[in-house]
Amino acid sequence: MDTSDYIAAGALIVALFSAVFALFSYSVANEALKISKQQHKERYKTVEPYLMEAYKWYKEEDTYISFALRFINKATITNSIVNVELHLEYFDKSQVFGKAKIEPCFDVNPLNIADNKKTLELPLILSEKSAESGWITFKLPDIFKKNLNVDLYKIHATTTNGEVVSIDTHIINTVQNEK
C-alpha cells in the first residue's frame, strides 16, 4: 500500500465519522423541532368557556338573565377576556326571525341565586393553565317581555388576541322573586 492509499483510507474513515455525526445531529435537531412545535401549540391554546347555570329573573320592572360561566385558559401564557356579549336569536308573534346583541350589566348582582360564585369583571385576566368562574348578568330590553320568544342565547367572549369563543343554550330557568 502506498501512502496515497493510507491517506484515502483515513479520508474514508473521517468521511464515515462525519456522516454518522451529521445523522446524529439531524436526529437531535429534528427532536428539538418537534419539542418546539409542541411548546408553540401549548403556548397558544384557546380559552374554553363552560356554561354552569343560567337563570332569568326579575327585579322591579326589569328582566335579567344571569349566566354562571367558567373560562379555562389552556395555554401556557396569560390570556384575558376583554369583552363579553349576549347574542339572542328570537322569533316574533308572526314567526319572523331576528337577532339582538346585548352588553353585560356589571352593576347588578344575580337575585335569589344561592351560591358563592362571584360576579366576573372585565377584563378577566386568566393566568397560564388556570380557570375563573363567576356570574355575568344581562338586562333584557323591554320588548322581550311580551312580544318576542328567544330561541337561542349565545355568549360571545373576545380574548386579547381577538379570538372569539362562544357558548350557547336554548333553555333558561326562571327564578321567582321572593315577596
Instruction: Report phi then psi at 109, rounded to 5.
Output: -100, 145
Same domain membership, residue 34 and residue 15: yes
Same domain membership, residue 154 and residue 126: yes
Confidence of residue 83 (pLDDT cuts 50, 70, 90): very high
Q: CA-CA distances (angstroms) from residue 72 to 95, 123, 137?
A: 37, 14, 19
pLDDT digits (tens, 9 = 90+) for 13-29: 999 999 999 999 999 99
Helices (H), 74-142: none
pLDDT digits (tens, 9 = 90+) for 93-151: 888 899 999 999 988 877 656 566 788 889 999 999 999 999 999 999 888 877 788 88
Confidence of residue 179 (pLDDT cuts 50, 70, 90): very low
pLDDT digits (tens, 9 = 90+) for 145-171: 777 888 899 999 999 888 999 999 988
Same domain membership, residue 162 and residue 147: yes
Same domain membership, residue 166 and residue 137: yes
Please compute the mean of the pLDDT values over residues 42-65 and round it to a whole number.
Answer: 88
The confidence score (pLDDT) of residue 46 equals 86
Nine-digit cell string for 174: 326562571
Mean pLDDT value across the chain? 88
Same domain membership, residue 157 and residue 73: yes
Max mean pLDDT among 31-45, 55-69, 108-122 falls in: 55-69
Please compute the mean of the pLDDT values over residues 34-50 and round it to a whole number.
Answer: 86
Backbone dihedral region for residue 26 (phi beyond 0: left; psi -120 to 50: alpha; all else: beta): alpha
Same domain membership, residue 142 and residue 117: yes
Same domain membership, residue 171 and residue 123: yes
The count of other CB atoms within 10 Å of the CB of residue 66 is 25
Domain residues for the domain of 29 are 1-43
Give this prediction's pTM: 0.77
Same domain membership, residue 57 and residue 20: no
Same domain membership, residue 109 and residue 168: yes
Q: Which residues contact 159 (CB under 8 A, 6 or more apart)?
A: 46, 47, 79, 80, 81, 82, 165
Whichever domain contains 68, its CATH number is: 2.60.40
Q: What share of the chain is helix, strand, coil (3-state, %, to 5)?
A: 25, 45, 30
Find, among 68, 70, 30, 65, the residue nearest to 141 by Cα.
Answer: 65
Same domain membership, residue 111 and residue 162: yes
User: What's the total number of domains in the chain?
Assistant: 2
